[in-house]
Amino acid sequence: MAELKRTCLYDFHVSHGAKMVPFAGYEMPVQYPMGVLKEHLHCRAEAGLFDVSHMGQVLLRPKSGDGADAAKALESLVPVALMELKEGRQRYALFTNDDGGILDDLMVANRGDHLFLVVNAACKADDIAHLKAHLSDTCEIEEINDRALLALQGPAAEEALATIVPGVTEMSFMDVEVLESDYGDLWISRSGYTGEDGFEISVVEAEALALAAALVDQGPVELIGLGARDSLRLEAGLCLYGNDIDTTTTPVEGALEWAMQKARRTGGAREGSFPGAGIILKQLDSGASRRRVGLLPEGRAPMRAGTELYAAETGGEPIGHVTSGAYGPSIERPMSMGYVAIENAEEGGTIYGEVRGKRLPAIVAPMPFRPATYKR
Amino acid sequence: MKFTEEHEWLRVEDDVVVVGITDHASEQLGDVVFVELPEAGTTVSKDDEVAVIESVKAASDILAPIDGEVVEVNDAIVATPSLVNEDPMGDGWFFKLKVEDLSTLDDFMDEAEYKDFIG
């Protein structure tokens, strides 16, 4: 196994009592002394700071100098409309493969003459190779290796960040801006992975420690580890790449139709012409045989990833399985998401998860399990 | 009080053995969110999986440390799983076992030996 990498905030985490674990090739903080449950609740009540510097930051610069050419080029790899994405705005996207499977999910920001992409840590090398293989004729693909990425999430996030960069109060959900600060230029988006209002902040590594310390020095901000990050995103109904979506799941099976705008669908202005379009457009028009759904177990036992799902309390073959499952500290009950046969995907229906040899009932439930509090 | 390598503690009260998990185990598990206990009256053999505990991190089995009959379980930790974190060596006990021969407890670690064991 290759040696684990560290983000530039490694010592900062350790000095704050973090328990470090291997994650996507990095040593990352899974929790701090507060513990997963309290970290989760703190982020929802006040604000949490997450080091997400392991994620990939990529600039896509069109050789023509016209930002629209980068959007047009990237559209050939994602079933997402990027030509309509306005400058200063960000959008969720998916790299698909020729089978309609998902190679990664990512954020794409329009920064005028270029695009800024944030991709998953575990996928970033493959994503960059994929971009270079397909877009090098028209774009320069530059991986950013000298910037850290922080996420500041929760109801007190705006006030905390505004003490450093007052301009953030003007931003709405999914806005992106480059703002000057005492910590150099900050690439800020009003977004995140918790269902809370908040920001993701790209900062030069040389200033990252000082910025993180300045944020944590403010009363409401606590460091939050990967453990709470997972329960926060699951309550928010957000997919974890590698668990809930991967190369074996299509965007339609993954219930991600909302990420595929009309322009790229059948009859749209730029219909198809992305990898796997044949399969994905057919599924958009006539449905897929299985679907990702939310599940709320009726009892208190969590149904974790891998739990087999059944239509009935006894007999029959599995109709699917759980891909993420945990206890939801804010909803105060267990929650799961998973794939089920389309006949069993209707909200409100009861299905059964096999936990330790017993089939326990769970309700097919809408997501998010906890309403998001984005600043629209 | 005696301790097992599975991080359980055993305390003799009259003729029954009270079983719980140690402070160390509770810290390692993290916040407990679910507990499933056996029914009173169940006869168990050493190393049987008699209870389940789920934390925010993972599920773990609680093994019977010794042969015996479950005579009482702590329903309070089923209703309030966080008790296991708050007071693992006291109010967070799991179940009481009636055992044939209390002398078999002599094989387990005492507190000093357990402290060495967990380093």
Q: What is the pLDDT of residues A265-278, one digit of tens each?
A: 999 999 999 999 99
Instruction: Show the CA angle centred on residue A74, arms to residues A115 and A236, nearest 5°.
Output: 75
Report chain A residues whose CB lies below 8 A from the CB of B52.
301, 356
Nearest CA in chain B to A301: B34
Question: Mutating which of B28, B33, B54, B80 best tests the A interface, going by the most A Cβ atoms within 10 A?
Answer: B33
Query: In sequence order, what are the beta bridge partners of A188?
Result: A177, A201
Smallest Cβ–Cβ distance between B59 and the set A35, A38, A304 belongs to A304
Nearest CA in chain A to B36: A301
CATH of A10-54+146-235, one of 3.40.50.300, 3.50.30.60, 3.40.50.20, 3.30.1360.120: 3.30.1360.120
Using DSSP's 3-state secondary structure scheme, residue A58 falls into strand
pLDDT at A2 over 80: no
Q: How far apart are CA A58 and CA A131, in angstroms?
A: 10
Q: Which two tokens stand for residue A214?
A: 């300045």
| pLDDT of the residue at B58 | 86
CB contact under 8 A, A227 and B54: no
| pLDDT of the residue at B15 | 86
Domain A289-376 has CATH 3.40.50.2300: no
| pLDDT of the residue at A84 | 96
CB contact under 8 A, B54 and A301: yes
Asked if A202 contacts A149 with a C-beta cutoff of 8 angstroms, the reply is yes
pLDDT at A1 over 60: no
pLDDT at A263 over 70: yes
Report chain B residues whose CB lies below 8 A from the CB of A36.
30-31, 56-57
Question: Which range, of A63-67, A252-256, B18-22, B101-105, averages the lowest pLDDT?
Answer: B101-105
Asked if A135 contacts A60 with a C-beta cutoff of 8 angstroms, the reply is yes
CB contact under 8 A, A35 and B54: no
| pLDDT of the residue at B14 | 87
Report chain A residues whose CB lies below 8 A from the CB of B33.
37, 300, 302, 327, 334
| pLDDT of the residue at A219 | 87
Asked if A222 contacts A356 with a C-beta cutoff of 8 angstroms, the reply is no
Smallest Cβ–Cβ distance between B34 and the set A31, A231, A302 belongs to A302
CB contact under 8 A, A302 and B57: no
What is the residue-averaged pLDDT of chain B? Answer: 95
> Which residue ranges make up each domain of chain A?
10-54+146-235, 289-376
Q: How many CA atoms lie within 13 A of A116 on its CB side?
A: 25
Report chain A residues whose CB lies below 8 A from the CB of B36.
301
pLDDT at A5 over 90: yes
Nearest CA in chain B to A39: B31
Smallest Cβ–Cβ distance between A356 and the set B52, B56, B57 belongs to B52
Asked if A195 contacts A238 with a C-beta cutoff of 8 angstroms, the reply is yes
Q: Which helix (H) or strand (E) holds A364?
A: strand A358-365
| pLDDT of the residue at A346 | 98
Which position has the token pair 């999914």? Answer: A174
- ipTM for the complex shown: 0.85
Q: How many CA atoms lie within 13 A of B99 on its CB side?
A: 23
A-B CB pairs within 8 A amount to: 38
Cβ partners under 8 Å of residue A336, min gap 6: A294, A295, A296, A297, A302, A303, A304, A307, A322, A324, A325, A326, A353, A362
Q: Which residues of B touch A (CB under 8 A)?
A: 30-31, 33-34, 36, 52, 54, 56-59
| pLDDT of the residue at A309 | 98
Q: How far apart are CA B111 and CA B105, in angstroms?
A: 13
CB contact under 8 A, A35 and B30: yes
Asked if A73 contacts A131 with a C-beta cutoff of 8 angstroms, the reply is no
Q: Which two tokens stand for residue A271?
A: 């219909």
Asked if B98 contacts B69 with a C-beta cutoff of 8 angstroms, the reply is yes
Gap from A326 CA to chain B (nearest CA, Å): 7
What is the residue-averaged pLDDT of chain A? Answer: 97
Q: What is the tens place of the pLDDT at every residue in A124-158?
A: 999 999 999 999 999 999 999 999 999 999 999 99
pLDDT over 70, % of chain A:
100
Q: What is the tens place of the pLDDT at every residue in A337-359?
A: 999 999 999 999 999 999 999 99
- All domains in chain B, ordered by first residue: 2-100 (2.40.50.100)
Nearest CA in chain B to A227: B57
pLDDT at A98 over 90: yes
CB contact under 8 A, B57 and A227: yes
Q: Which residues of A touch B (CB under 8 A)?
A: 31, 35-38, 227, 231, 300-302, 304, 326-327, 329, 334, 356
Q: What is the tens place of the pLDDT at every residue in A175-198?
A: 999 999 999 999 999 999 999 999
pLDDT over 90, % of chain A:
98
pLDDT at A246 over 60: yes
Report chain A residues whose CB lies below 8 A from the CB of B56.
35-37, 227, 231, 326-327, 329
Report chain A residues whose CB lies below 8 A from the CB of B54.
301-302, 327
| pLDDT of the residue at A206 | 98
Q: What is the tens place of the pLDDT at every residue in A324-333?
A: 999 999 999 9
Query: In sequence order, what are the beta bridge partners of A364?
Result: A295
Which position has the token pair 């301790």? Answer: B3
Gap from A270 CA to chain B (nearest CA, Å): 45
| pLDDT of the residue at B47 | 94
pLDDT at A54 over 90: yes
Nearest CA in chain B to A355: B59
